[in-house]
Amino acid sequence: MSERLQPGDTAPAFTLQDADGNEVSLADHEGRKVIVYFYPAALTPGCTKQACDFTDNLDVLAGAGYDVLGISPDTPEKLAKFRDTESLKVTLLADPDKQVLDAYGAFGEKKNYGKTYQGVIRSTIVVDEHGKVERALYNVRATGHVAKIIKDLNI
């Protein structure tokens, strides 16, 4: 399991493909705050709820100076289907090699129904406009998480 990020750490740089196959880098958002959230799989109930919550609150977050990037191990094609099926406005990025998930501490050991396995740890990292980790939240819930972020960030 990779190390979890802590406030003050430099956010690991990345470049991934979005749902349309375009490259998106964390560096593209320099000068703006970024909420990077990691989720297990597109088109699943919890991940759909979380992505819809971010989409529903995107104007509020953007108005407060935050961009939102959702990262999963899905392919760009699956992300495009997810975006189109659910009318998502959040930028979804594909990390099929799990390198970014690992760099952010969002991939590792999980337990479910008494079984231990390796998987995506639902996580949210808030990166400030200078590329430093402002908040690192791990094992977050899919439901109600966006409202908690908005409250915690005083938006």
User: How confident is the model at residue 114, as a pLDDT?
Assistant: 87
pTM above 0.75, yes or no: yes
Does residue 2 surpass a pLDDT of 80?
Answer: no
Confidence band for 113, pLDDT divided at 50, 70 and 90? confident
Q: What is the helix, strand, coil percentage profile of the chain, to 5?
A: 30, 30, 40
User: How confident is the model at residue 112, as a pLDDT?
Assistant: 78
Which residues form the catalytic set? 47
Find out whether 79 and 94 touch, Cβ atoms under 8 Å: yes
CA 108, 139, 122, 7 torsion: positive or negative?
Answer: negative
Does residue 1 surpass a pLDDT of 80?
Answer: no
Convert the pLDDT of each residue in 131-148 to its tens digit. 999 999 999 999 998 999
Convert the pLDDT of each residue in 69-89 to its tens digit. 999 999 999 999 999 999 999
